[in-house]
Amino acid sequence: MTFPPARMRSRPADGKLARLTVQDLTHVGEQVVSIIQQAALDASVELQVQRSREEFRLRNSAGGRAEAVSGMLAVDVWVERHRADDVLVVFDSLRTAQMDHHREFAARVAQRLTWADKLVDMQPGRMPVILSPTAAAILLQPLILALSGARIRSKSSPLAGKLGQQIFDSRLTIVDDGTLADRPGGLFDHEGVPTQRTALIRNGVVTGFYYDLKTAAQAGAQSTGNGQRSLLAPPRPQPSNIIIEPGATSLEAMLQQVGEGLLVDLLIGASPSHALRGTFSRTVLLGYKIEQGRIAGYVKGVALAGNLYEMLRDIQAIGDTGYWSGWSNDVCSPYLLVDGLNVSV
């Protein structure tokens, strides 16, 4: 294992973020509340807005020097809507290194309230399902973990030994990109290695894994700039910004293609260790019934089950737009249309 000798320095990409005052943060919060309440005047909105600043300095025995100053804007929203005996709860969060993203974030929360204007019944069965970017980001966590160099080294990943093989649908491309200016992070990781854009899956083919210095040395590879550490633990490989590249299908076209099915937005439930193998069973916290190609209302008491790898081998459609999930802030996904998932009520 060789420490990088380079000397690097980086500053926040958006200087406006560093200059935010308490009054500015209050204004951000007011804008978020206003946009959400335009969709549901009877909703109660609670939120927290924070600006953070981090200074990072690294020195190593190879003469390497790395210094970074980064900033982040965080918005956490909790919305409740009470109608007779029905209570709807929607919550989400935003993490960004740029200003003005909070308006788009608020619009997404407002869209959820619009779609959930009424409660409808859902019949169980095996059916086509549209996964929102948030739901997709949650379900794809075992796959992202399986792409870690540490998991490949220990052979606990089902993708070990599969480099160069066609495992998934040919339309699926996943990259890890630590170079994005509007995302938390910087020019280098916590080991002083420059961040980069790493293709993990390209057109369904496993093309790479993400490494820190140690796991890269063990694999005879180069670090991908994914060495991250916490205060009391040594570095380990962690994804920076995972991007599922968009396709060419609009959400409206997906709804028409489904006809009758389910749009899953928010999921809860633990991911046990065997989830690395792809099996999942999750409670749907917020989902919408699709009838005749349109959102008919939201459903309660629904669960979703299937196998992640089987699901990704035959994707029906990939959305043309996406966003960074508030529940998994390192993943940006488009809407995904998959078939044959089990929906229980």
Beta strands in 97-172 (DSSP E): 125-131
pLDDT tier, 33 (very low <50, low <70, confident <90, very high otherwise)? very high
Asked if pLDDT for residue 85 goes beyond 70, the answer is yes
**Which of 277, 280, 249 is CA-nearest to residue 267?**
280
Q: What residues have CB less than 8 Å from 224, skipping those under 6 apart?
A: 176, 193, 196, 198, 208, 209, 210, 211, 216, 237
Could you tell me which CATH class the domain 7-115 is placed in? alpha beta
Q: For the chain, what are the domain ranges? A: 7-115, 118-345
CB-count burial class (<10 Å; 0-12, 13-18, 19+) for 55: exposed
Q: DSSP of 176-241, one letter per residue?
A: EETT-TTSS--SB-TTSPBP-EEEEEETTEE---B--HHHHHHHTS---S-EE--TTS--EE--S-
> pTM here?
0.93
pLDDT number for residue 307: 92
Task: Tell me the average pLDDT of the chain.
Answer: 92
pLDDT in tens, 163-209: 999 999 999 999 999 998 778 778 899 999 999 999 999 999 999 99
Residue type, 259: G
